Amino acid sequence: MLTSEAILPDRPNDKREKTLSSSVGRIYRTDRIEGTVILRGERANVVFCFINEQLLRMKLFFGETPDLRSTPAIVDDAAQPTTVEVEEKDGHIVISSPAMHAVIDPERFSLRLFNGNGELWFEELATEWDEKNKIAFSAVKSSDSHFYGLGEKTGFLDKNGERYEMWNSDVYEPHVQDTDALYQSIPFLIHYEYGKPAYGLLLDNPGRATFDMRTHEDRYTVNIASGELDLFLFNGPSIKDVVKRFTDITGKTYMPPKWAIGYQQSRYSYMNQEEVLDIARTFRKKGIPCDVLYLDIHYMDEYRVFTWDSKRFPKPLEMMAELKELGFELVPIVDPGVKKDPKYHIYQEGVKNGYFCRKLEGDIFIGKVWPGLSAFPDFTDDAAAEWWGDHHRFYIEQGINGIWNDMNEPSVFNDSKTMDPDVVHANNGNPKTHEEWHNLYGLLMSKATFEGMKRGLSGDRPFVLTRAGYTGIQRYATVWTGDNRSFWEHMAMSIPMVLNLGMSGIAFAGPDVGGFSHHASGELVARWTQMGAFVPFFRNHSVIESRRQEPWMFGDQVEAICREYIGLRYRLMPYLYSLFYEAHKTGVPILRALIMEYPEDRAVYNVCDQFLFGSSFLVAPIYRPGVQSRSVYLPEGVWYDYWTGEKHEGGKSVLAHAPLDTMPLYVKAGAIVPEQALRQSMGEQTDEPDRVRFYVGSGGADENSFAHYEDDGRTYAYESGQYRLRNWRLRELSEEGLIIACDYAHDGLNSAQKLLLTIEPVASKPEELSSTGGTEVDTWVYDGDSRRLQVSITANHSFEIRIRL
């Protein structure tokens, strides 16, 4: 039986004092051990190591030897120490990499970080702990400090002046601007000051912690209730660079199957097999594109996971066959609670093999959730995680390729709303209490689900949706922002939430469109669908007692609006899929706060009601009832109204007219946008040529480019080179004409393609079109009224087209 001493032993060399506001004290010795620098202090020790030239790890410890094992937030082997130099200079300890150096005052232990240009980008003020071993780490902020990240937190985009807790929580009551904490905890903060390098700070501690940017004018503080102070500090200099470096060690967004990027319809619950099929048939009858339907908890036999209710769903294989024929995927919910039933084989297996979480005394922890009294798998145990993952073959054998993980904060129907703090997680021989590792539960459940599905699908990509998560969740799952309401305020609130999730490494995220609870109006569903068409995760979901929210439930006008905007997403899918590939390779989010692209523009630092879709589109949703116009801020450059083609100079606000069927949408001059013909699902094939649209008018000789990515959209064949990556380029030659070029960076698909290139606005009919690279122009047509030039070609390698005006 485990004891508290076995989990948290009183080490003989532990220097930790039980007095208020203890600190490291004077540094009396410096040791170098295997790429690390250990500073020995009077009351504690600190270990430093460079993970790469731009990333410093700092960990406070109280024994003789630091434990440099990371939590599952960090990609395996991604946090290995690299070369480090240390010297004493002017009475300070200097720890250096080729690109940055840390300066430590040994008299009172304070830390300053400088980049290769000698610019100060981080300054620590204090590292202290109290008699209960609660740790506080403080760093400098200024009146011009701006903070981003921290995951799905409510409130403004800029988190300066706020205080947030990291503790995954099931919160059903209505969310407001200061609701905290919610379902996910991403303890990663980005700091930006005008004209100075941006930096990131990751606390790798899955217990309870707070980030306080409110209490003090001159500092912000990270407070830790239990566990260790383990910090990763990322040098920019840009916010994009910080996010890239952060995802280098926490992982990039997984590459989803293309069907998971389509429109998705859900309800708590579609109650039986015939209702599911009726919904699917209605989508196809009405010509509204849709790829995914969901099953909530009522598909199960008394909420037992890995079962069907044989009365509600008597023939699941026949149901799945028709759904596949109609072009639909089905995603069922799977919660972690396993019904305590001695006759239930999942419970029997978990008990027999020791796969469930246990109390300190050794008994299985039992909590009440939807099935009643239930046990919970211990996903920190590799054997338990593999067992859980392998049981997803139950779904795979029915033709199911995606899973929805819910209630995995973990949520329990008790006073604390979660497991008892002294529940023990085996952690493969390094046990932790639930209090210490609470926030990891959703991440590890999603990992077990993803890896089990991946094993079972034998080459196809799985889709996993999760409500709870921790740093690194993007490697395994998509996230949504939980149980919102059909309130206009919740639509508005979701924008900065998803933007900050993106800056926290989680590119594939979104809210429940239309709102989960309460009763949506047709106007709200129309406006939210317009916005949702540009959000990475696009699902309409509603609760059992609420008004239904399928697009046709609000009359012909709302149905037509939903059809148009869902269809627009499908037409823009080649552009969106390329953005997913960019996020998968670099970590740069799909949905971007304006500050990511325009950090020198002070007007965008706290823009909460607009966002960028990639770098080419600016989306300005209508998020109040009865509103038919709004002010839209356009950053520097030239922008076109997507609907009318009207040209606007950036750096100022414009008044956008927005009747119910129109959401303000702008595309930047110089944009290159791959498109496709409308489809009803991602699997539908057409004979229409692929399309690429070029928006002219950026001015000057600067070249614009876009990386256009294609693969089969379903399997992992791209990992063995079966994909196509084309770099499109647009160069404007003043009054002389244009150059459009396409460089095949990689072509593992080896097939010629018909392409329709649309260039607009073109002031006059071209005098000549010529091509190089062995690709001939098939036809070209110029429309003087729309000032649009269309060029048809067939290509399978790099080419260039010169357009002389």
Sheet holding 230-235, edge to edge: 27-33, 36-41, 45-52, 55-61, 230-235, 199-203, 188-193, 145-149
Q: Which amino acid is at 548?
A: R
**Would you put residue 496 in left (φ > 0), alpha (ψ -120 to 50) or beta?**
alpha
The CB-based long-range contact list for 8-13 (8 Å cut-off, 24+ gap) reads 8/433, 11/62, 11/63, 13/62, 13/63, 13/64
Q: How many CB atoms lie within 10 A of CB 521?
A: 15
Main-chain dihedrals φ then ψ at residue 57, nearest 5 degrees: -105, 135
- Which of 162, 170, 406, 609 is flagged as catalytic? 406
What's the rounded Cα separation, in Å, for the pair 106 and 37?
13
- Which of 170, 296, 483, 609 is flagged as catalytic? 483
Sheet holding 768-772, edge to edge: 703-710, 724-733, 737-747, 799-804, 768-772
User: Which is nearest to 127 in space by CA: 43, 199, 202?
Assistant: 43
Ordered DSSP codes for 594-621 = HHHH-TT-GGGTT--S-EEETTTEEE--
Question: Is 31 an annotated catalytic residue?
Answer: no
The 3-class secondary structure across 671-722, one letter per residue, is: CEEEECCCCCCCCCCCCCCEEEEEECCCCCCCEEEEEEEECCCCECHHHHCC
Half-sphere exposure of 770 (CA within 13 A, CB side): 7
Question: Is 460 an annotated catalytic residue?
Answer: no
Which burial class, exposed, middle or buried, applies to 217 when counting CB atoms under 10 A from its CB (0-12, 13-18, 19+)? exposed
- Which of 230, 409, 451, 732 is flagged as catalytic? 409
Question: Is 711 an annotated catalytic residue?
Answer: no
- The CA-CA-CA angle for residues 750, 754, 759, to 5°, reads 125
Contact criterion met (CB below 8 Å) for 189 and 211: yes
Render the burial of 27-51: b for 16+ CB within 10 Å, e for the rest. beebeeeeebbbbbbebbbbbbbbb
Which residues are CB-neighbours of 164 under 8 A, at least 6 positions away?
150, 153, 180, 181, 210, 211
Catalytic positions are 406, 409, 483
